[in-house]
Chains A and B, each alone.
Chain A
Amino acid sequence: MRPAVSDLPDGLRPLTPEEAQTRRKRSLAIALTLGALVILFFVLTIAKLGPQVLQRPL
């Protein structure tokens, strides 16, 4: 729910729809980048250590 202007601290204002959309796209890009990094590190680990890395005794 969008807050009323009177509830906001001095100097702040609600985002315009365009700004909110820009921020949403940036958040999505950051999320995708973080997801890609997770995949990259997983693939890199398998490539460097080999599939047997998953078969070690616990």
Chain B
Amino acid sequence: MTSLSNSLTVDTKAASFAPAVGGEVRDFFALLKPRVMVLVIFTALVGMVVSHATVNPVIAAISLLMIAVGAGASGCLNMWWDADIDALMTRTAKRPIPDGRIRPDEALTFGIVLSVGSVLILGLASNWLAAGLLAFTIVFYAVIYSMWLKRATAQNIVIGGAAGALPPVVGQAAVTGHVGIESLILFAIIFIWTPPHFWALALVKSGEYARAGIPMMPNVAGPDSTRRQIVWYTLLLAPLGLAPVVFGFGGWLYALVGVLGGLGMLASSVQVFRQRQGEPERKAAMGLFAFSILYLFLLFSALLAEQGLGLYRAVLA
């Protein structure tokens, strides 16, 4: 017999069939991957700002909120699908579903409701092109990446990176009704930035990914090949990061950040290429992982400062 409050008791066999109450509010919030949501809000906001569209700020704010909720919903669906492999990795084992704080069916329902709700409200608030792009982003991340690519190919995060690169495009579509060259360039920067960023982490966590059976590049092609590919992608990323200057929406401040940041990314990736043993190897990989976040943040911050705060001074006549 199990003792309950107010002197009530119940048979343990019966209790095992009792409906669970479910997770706490903060567990549901954790399902939305809040740190990723912050990044999505930031990049989508930059996509809006570089568009220079005349738009009601209330509508822009609601659109931004819905883009963030849609991103959170796709993160929730990802956690629902990946609960089995999340339980096998220390980095993800404490997530709400593998930790037993939220039932999978609760997470699935939560993710679907937020997905449909965010797309519909974005469509009503801004336009249906933006809503369609948000729906595509959610489906691409939750279905194409999570359910298919992630466990099928070492190119998983290369192709799947498109989902993470789309928020600026959705942001521009929300305030202008079309997709312009500015957001496409921002898409390209995030897309090419993704492989060196994630492969740096995968080099350190390759044992965990192997245990979970995820074919990350270091596990499939080997660490040396991964290091080479990191350098190649970074060689592509550093000049691509300066494309906003060439296309006229990145000024002097952005150019400075782009050049220094690009050199920093190249130096970090060369360190990863050279350091192949023990603690220096781990330090170099985690150094690139951390610096890549800073690099992307500074690039987009420079654009936001120039286009949003009027600091733009053209580099090219």
Number of chain A residues whose Cβ lies closer than 8 Å to a Cβ of chain B: 22
Is the CB of B124 closer than 8 A to any CB of chain A?
yes
Given the known A-B contacts A5-B8, A5-B9, are A43 and B18 also in contact in the complex, defined by CB atoms under 8 Å? Answer: no
**Residues of chain A at the chain B interface (Cβ within 8 Å):** 2, 4-5, 10-17, 19, 22-23, 25-26, 29, 40, 43-44, 47-48
Cβ contact within 8 Å between B25 and A13: no
Cβ contact within 8 Å between B15 and A44: no
Cβ contact within 8 Å between B4 and A14: yes
Contact string against A for B residues 46-65, beta-carbon threshold 8 Å, 1 for contact and 0 otherwise: 00000000001011001000
**Residues of chain B at the chain A interface (Cβ within 8 Å):** 4-6, 8-10, 14-15, 17-19, 21-25, 28, 56, 58-59, 62, 121, 124-125
Task: Please report whether the interface of chain A is mostly helix, strand, loop or mixed according to DSSP.
Answer: helix
Chain B residues within 8 Å of A47, by CB: 56, 58-59, 62
Chain B residues within 8 Å of A13, by CB: 4, 8, 10, 14-15, 18
Chain B residues within 8 Å of A14, by CB: 4-6, 8, 10
When chains A and B are docked, how far (Å) is the Cα of A19 from the Cα of B28? 16
User: Shortest Cβ distance from B56 into chain A, in angstroms?
Assistant: 5
When chains A and B are docked, how far (Å) is the Cα of A40 from the Cα of B59? 10
Cβ contact within 8 Å between A25 and B17: no
Cβ contact within 8 Å between B22 and A22: yes
Residue of A12, A16, A25 near B4 (CB, 8 A) is: A16
Cβ contact within 8 Å between A10 and B14: yes
